[in-house]
């Protein structure tokens, strides 16, 4: 599954177009490598999302094409969720 679609299906990012823009802005990495929106996600991959004041790292547990909102968090395991503070 493409990373932009996975981010939307897993509800890590609300919209696929926003997920695409974040990838183009080089804020998403898979297994430590910055990726484009078309990069493939596999079970076991580690995804790191960098926002302005937050870093989230998750491990992919499954990659279904769609899930209900209340089941979305079961698609990944959160490894790290840090808030950055401005100095």
Contact between residue 46 and residue 31 where contact means Cβ atoms under 8 Å apart: yes
Residue 29 has pLDDT above 60, yes or no: yes
Is the pLDDT assigned to residue 87 strictly greater than 80?
no
56 has a pLDDT exceeding 80: yes
Mean pLDDT confidence for 26-30: 94
Query: How far is CA 59 from each of CA 17, 53, 86, 87, rounded to the nearest angstrom?
Result: 22, 21, 27, 30
Domain assignments of the chain as residue spans, ordered by start: 3-83
pTM equals 0.89
Tokens at residue 63, please?
Answer: 């990659």
Which neighbouring-strand residues pair with 30? Answer: 33, 47
Q: What is the second-level CATH architecture of the domain 3-83?
A: Roll (3.10)
Per-residue pLDDT averaged across 23-35, rounded?
A: 94
Whether residue 86 has pLDDT greater than 90: no
């Amino acid at each position: 599954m493409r990373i932009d679609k996975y981010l939307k299906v897993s509800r890590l990012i609300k919209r696929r177009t926003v997920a695409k823009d974040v990838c183009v802005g080089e804020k998403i990495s898979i297994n430590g490598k910055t990726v484009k929106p078309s990069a493939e996600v596999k079970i076991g991959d580690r995804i790191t999302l960098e926002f302005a004041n937050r870093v989230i790292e998750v491990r992919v547990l499954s990659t279904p094409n769609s899930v209900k909102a209340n089941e979305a968090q079961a698609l990944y395991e959160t490894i790290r969720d840090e808030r950055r503070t401005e100095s």
